[in-house]
Structure 1
Amino acid sequence: MGRWEPGARARLRDAALDLFSEHGYEQTTVAEIAARAELTERTFYRHFADKREVLFDGQEQFVARFVEPMTTGPTTTSPTTEGPGSTGALDLVAAALRGAGSYFTPAMKGFATRRQAVIEAEPSLRERELLKLGSLADALADALVAQGVPTDRATLAAEAGVSVFRVAFARWIASGDDRSLQDHLDHALDELRSLTAQP
């Protein structure tokens, strides 16, 4: 086997998902993943720190897709209000969700669906997923504060944004149609706005 196997990362990821689905996450070893991918364990560790990282690799890029649209857009001119002439906290969150929608392309739906099934079947992975979303909420709140949103409002808006993402993501991977994640995000965000508009 050559030192730099073509497509090794994708082969290892696919092999891991197959084995996690067939035998369970805890029952699958790195050696088995490497063997299924027809690679060495050494090659596996060049790409992933451990088997969990097959599922959670790329956290920094994931968070960046949410945060960057918030930091490149206009800052809030009146951070304590949501009225005309200001960019409200939810508008900034909507920009973040558009970034997420562009990150999760239709081609990723199959992987995302398989990945989520593995996570839902293993309590330790569900806990890790919650930590990942908690880190996302913290990053969104920090970005909102940097844009002039008061801390409490930023925290609420960030948590709401993560909730919108979770609902939309679950709908996306469960749907049998070709609607994009962005379609589901827009719908979930509209539902949130309708709730916040109620007296």
Structure 2
Amino acid sequence: MGRWEPNARGRLEQAALELYAERGYEQTPVAEITKRAGLTERTFFRHFADKREVLFAGSGRLAELCVGAVAAAPTTATPMEAVAAALDAAAGVFEERGDLVGRRQSVIDANAELRERELIKLASLSDALADALRDRGVDELTARLTAEAAIAVLKVAFRRWIDGGQERLLRPLLTECFDVLRTASARGAVGAG
């Protein structure tokens, strides 16, 4: 085997997702992933710290994409419009990788440890969005609440997208969730009392 393997990372990701789906995450050792990918364990560990990172390695890039979208939002954009732009950018990545994203989510849904890890990654994304909003001059409370609301919108829209077999695009589902959130905020005080 040569020193350079074309698309090693992608091959490892594909093999891991197939094996996780077939055997379960916990029952799949790294050696089996590398065997299926036709690569060595050394190559695996050059790309991923452990077998969980096959599922979560893109989180940093996703956060960078979202932070960049918040920063690039027009100066006239409200904090919610800025995070909506960030989630729109993320949706494009998810939609491009639809099949892999769906398989990844199935693996995560089947394992409590991985669901917990997903929540930690979402909390990190929320922190990154809040920081990006503060960099735009948004006050702490507004930045934090807006970022947390954005993560709630992402979770609900993403779940609807996955559960719907990805028949609808994720972007319109995000828009729909933001619209419902705005409507709920506008009517929030009406139902009180």
Q: TM-score normalized by structure 2?
A: 0.91
Contact kept, 8 Å, 2:83 with 2:147, in 1: the verdict is yes
CA drift at 1:101 = 2.1
- The alignment partner of 2:138 has SS state of coil
- The C-alpha deviation readout for 1:109-145, integer Å capped at 9, x for no partner, is 1111110111111111111100000001111111111
CA drift at 1:65 = 1.6
Q: Which runs of 5+ in 2 are unaligned?
A: none
1:97 aligned residue: 87
Match of 1:184 among 152, 173, 185: 173
2:62 aligned residue: 62
Q: Which moved more, 1:4-13 or 1:176-185?
A: 176-185
Contact kept, 8 Å, 2:98 with 2:166, in 1: the verdict is no
Within 5 Å, give how 1:130-145 maps onto structure 2: 130-145=119-134
2:27 aligned residue: 27
Q: Which runs of 5+ in 1 are unaligned?
A: 76-85
- The alignment partner of 1:104 has SS state of helix
CA drift at 1:177 = 5.5
The one-letter code matched in structure 2 to 1:138 is D
Aligned-partner Cα distance in 1 for 2:74–2:18: 44
2:143 aligned residue: 154
- The alignment partner of 2:5 has SS state of coil
CA drift at 1:36 = 1.2
Q: TM-score normalized by structure 1?
A: 0.89
- How many residues get paired? 188
Q: What fraction of aligned residue pairs are identical, expressed as a percent?
A: 53
Contact kept, 8 Å, 2:16 with 2:33, in 1: the verdict is yes
Contact kept, 8 Å, 1:65 with 1:103, in 2: the verdict is no
Q: Which runs of 4+ in 1 moved over 4 A?
A: none
Aligned-partner Cα distance in 2 for 1:26–1:178: 30
Contact kept, 8 Å, 2:79 with 2:143, in 1: the verdict is yes
The one-letter code matched in structure 2 to 1:143 is A
Aligned-partner Cα distance in 2 for 1:26–1:5: 27
